[in-house]
Structure 1
Amino acid sequence: MRAVVFERYGEPAEVREVPDPAPAPGGVVVRVEATGLCRSDWHGWMGHDPGITLPHVPGHELAGVVEAVGSGVSAWRPGDRVTVPFVCACGTCADCAAGEHQVCARQTQPGFTHWGSFAEYVALDHADVNLVAVPAELSYATAAALGCRFATAFRAVVARGRVAAGEWVAVHGCGGVGLSAVMIAAAAGARVVAVDTAPAARELALSFGAAHALDPRAAGPGGAAGEVRELTGGGAHLSLDALGSPATASASVAGLRRRGRHVQVGLLPAESGPAALPMDRVIGWELELLGSHGMAAHAYPPMLELVRSGALRPDLLVTRSLPLSGAPAALAAMGSAPGSGVTVILPQQ
């Protein structure tokens, strides 16, 4: 099969022929019809993830068709249209027994723990636990955006952030995760303040329901946090760092009102240094600091129902598609120009 392979961190990847994968006894091989280009892929390419073994094929946000099944798989067969969370749970550890598959102690992640979906085919583990059926009316490109960014944002806003109608929600960083969070919070009846340096990202945020869109570089002396507090009459009830940097994490916490909730979604690599969080305010204002890590496959149905009804439109997030040959350059560009919306790679083209 053809796949995007890199031999060294931070050096150019290339499309080459590699052996086809085979399914594990409890796993499947999926023919990849679409796979998202995510900033997490860039972090892996840069060497920020210690679980990667070189040479490596990135890609973790995918949708496609089951090509082959392992001997222990009972719920799926060749020809099924599927997607998968980026966290593939084992299904048997204590966390999985509690339904918390997204923090499985023995999790695997395509594109990180093993070769991923920037390829014509990808192997996925524990299929009966992790695969999600893709409705016929959902395109593969749209379904690919669900597995990491949209599902991650859905759980961060709804389950972890406990968004409520009428609340103020601030979203710092309006890439794929941030724009998804804007759309989901607005659909829940919240008033959203989107914060991003890119004009195109701010325009998309407004089109997806944000009440305000701020450029943090143009903020006053109080920075983005001060602008959020002023616009919201005292601070956001819920704020998310969807980018992952010391500056956005700090601004997200500092922009909260009393008893507000911060959800950290974006990864902060060690190279960026620690975030300076106002812990005195966390104590005095009884703020909540929460992490959010994907969403388990069993939690997809409510989200998919909102997509089916048209209340949520993840298809609008897909702003660019590329053939597999365009993936290496697009991956490298994520560091300096992450882009707006979701870029989808189509490996069969």
Structure 2
Amino acid sequence: MKAVVYEKFGQAPKVMNVKEPELADDGVIINVRATGVCRSDWHGWKGHDSGIELPHVPGHEFAGVVEAVGKNVRHFKVGERVTVPFVNGCGSCPDCHSGNQQVCSTQTQPGFTHWGSFAEYVPINNADTNLVHLPDDMDFATAASLGCRFVTSFRAVVDQGKVKAGQWVAVHGCGGVGLSAIMIANSIGANVIAVDIAEDKLTLARSLGAVAVINASKVDDVAEAIMSLTRGGAHVSLDALGHSVTCVNSIKCLRSLGKHVQVGLLLGEQAAPNIPMSKVIAQELEIIGSHGMQAFRYQDMLAMMLSGKLVPEKLIGQRINLEQSIDALTTMDSSSVPGVTVVTEF
């Protein structure tokens, strides 16, 4: 099969013909029809994820058609349209039994623990726990854009942040995760403030429901600006980028009893932000992690999409081919292209 492969961290990947994946008894093989290019893939390519073994095929947010089914799979058939969370649970540990596959201690992640979706085919084990049926009228590019950024934001806003109508929500970073969070929080009825350093991303954020935007490169104190706009601070604030500056700003902009949700990965030199713990204690703030979303939680999100409350296709910026994904991946840290880039041609 054709796939994008990197043989050294930080070295330009290549399109190669590689061996097709093997089918597990409890798994499926998916013919990939679309896959997103995500900042997490860039972190993996840079070597920030110690679990990746070389050579490696990146890609973890995808949608496609079931190509082959293992003999123990009960709920999925060849030809069905599916997607999958980027965190796959084992299905048998205490976390999985409690419905928390997103923190399974033996989880697998396509594009990290094994070869991913920058390829024609990708394997998914424990398919009955981890696969999600797609609505017939949802195109594959939209479905792929859900796989990491949108579902991660949905859980961060709805399940972890427990955002309510009328609350102030600050979103720091307007990439795919941040824009998704803005759309989701707005659909609930929250008042969203978007923060970024790129005017085109802030313009897109406003079109997706942000009631105010802040260009962090043009204000002296982001947290103070949010405190002023909200007359006391955000009820919920999300670091959707994963940077020490955005993490600290997110905590500093909260009102008493507020919630900071860390969504962006803090890796490499950004791994140890200087948390203002005195504020956390004095104002009884909550600091909450958010890591993916379980397959069974997709149904509520899909229902909101079918009703028209959520329109994730608005987040898609570019549709590219597999060869173009190499440049999109390797320049992700410096790219200013707004929205989600999705590979739709293999």
Same fold (TM over 0.5): yes
Letter in 1 for 2:167: E
- Counterpart of 1:339? 337
Q: What residue is the counterpart of 1:288 in the other structure?
A: 286
Range that drifts further, 290-299 or 68-77 = 68-77
Aligned pairs for 1:148-167 (under 5 A) are 148-167=148-167
SS in 2 for 1:66: strand
Contact preservation (8 Å) 2:89, 2:96: yes
Q: Is the 8 A contact 1:39 1:338 kept in 2?
A: no
| 8 Å CA contact retained: 2:317, 2:337 | no
Name structure 2 gaps, 5 residues minimum.
none
Which 5+ residue runs of structure 1 have no aligned equivalent?
A: none
Counterpart CA distance in 1 for 2:44 and 2:72 is 31
Q: Over residues 312-341 of structure 1, what are the superposed CA-to-partner deviations in whole Å (9 max), with x where a residue is unaligned?
A: 000101110100010111100102116321
2:241 is the counterpart of 1:239: no
Partner of 2:9: 9
Aligned to 1:314: 312
Match status 1:301 vs 2:299: yes
Q: Percent identity?
A: 55
Answer yes or no: is the 8 Å Cα contact 1:175–1:338 preserved in 2.
Answer: no
Q: Distance in 1 between matches of 2:108 and 2:338?
A: 28
Q: TM-score, normalised by structure 1?
A: 0.98
Shift of residue 186 of structure 1?
0.5
3-state SS of paired residue (2:323)? helix
The question of 1:71 aligning with 2:60 is answered no
User: In the alignment, which residue of structure 1 is the partner of 2:84?
Assistant: 84
Q: Distance in 1 between matches of 2:323 and 2:263?
A: 30
User: 1:319 corresponds to which letter in structure 2?
Assistant: G
Counterpart residue type for residue 168 of structure 2: W
> Which residue does the alignment assign to 2:62?
62
The corresponding residue for 1:330 is 328
CA contact (8 A) 1:23 1:69 kept: yes
State the number of aligned residues.
346
Partners of 1:142 and 1:314 within 8 A in 2: yes
Give the TM-score, by structure 2 length: 0.99
Shift of the 338–293 alpha-carbon distance from structure 1 to 2, 3 Å rule, reads farther
Distance in 2, matches of 1:142 and 1:87, equals: 19
The equivalent residue for 2:276 is 278
Alpha-carbon distance in structure 1 between the residues aligned to 2:129 and 2:157: 24
What residue in structure 2 maps to residue 25 of structure 1?
A: 25
Deviation by residue 1:226-257 (Cα, 9 ceiling, x = unmatched): 11111111100000000000000000000000
3-state DSSP of counterpart to 1:71: coil
* 1:33-182 alignment runs, 5 A limit: 33-182=33-182
Q: What SS class does the counterpart of residue 214 from structure 1 fall into?
A: strand
1:272 is displaced (CA, Å) by 2.2
Distance 1:139 1:200 in 2: 26
CA distance in 2, matches of 1:323, 1:330: 10
Where 1:217 maps in the other structure, the secondary structure is: coil
Q: Distance in 2 between matches of 1:338 and 1:108?
A: 31
SS of the equivalent of 2:237 reads strand
Structure 1 residue runs of 4+, over 3 Å off?
none
Instruction: Give, in whole Å, the separation in 2 of the partners of 1:70 and 1:338.
Output: 42
2:265 aligns with 267
Contact 2:176 2:339 in 1 (8 A): yes
Residues 110-129 of structure 1 show CA distances to partners (whole Å, capped at 9, x for unaligned) of 00000000001111111000
Shift in CA distance, 320/191, structure 1 to aligned 2, threshold 3 Å:
same
Instruction: Name the residue aligned to 1:254.
Output: 252
Letter in 1 for 2:248: S
Shift of 1:347: 4.2
- The answer (yes or no) to whether the contact 2:36–2:62 under 8 Å persists in 1 is yes
Supply the distance in 1 between the matched residues of 2:202 and 2:64 (Cα, whole angstroms): 31
Q: Secondary structure at the match of 1:178?
A: helix
1:23 Cα offset (Å): 1.4
1:208 maps onto 2:208 in alignment: yes
**Shift in CA distance, 73/140, structure 1 to aligned 2, threshold 3 Å:** same
Contact 2:242 2:270 in 1 (8 A): no
Partner Cα separation in structure 1 for residue 100 and residue 271 of structure 2: 29
Distance 2:300 2:34 in 1: 23
Following TM superposition, by how much is the alpha carbon of 1:14 offset from its aligned partner in structure 2, in angstroms? 0.7
Secondary structure in 2 matching 1:260: strand
The amino acid of 1:239's aligned partner reads S
Q: CA deviation at 1:273?
A: 4.6
1:289 maps to amino acid: I
Distance of 1:228 and 1:341 partners within structure 2: 24
Quote how far apart the aligned CAs of 1:259 are: 0.5
Quick one: which amino acid aligns to residue 288 of structure 1? Answer: E
Code of the residue aligned with 2:238 in structure 1: it is L
Q: Read off the aligned partner of 2:32 and give its amino acid letter.
A: V
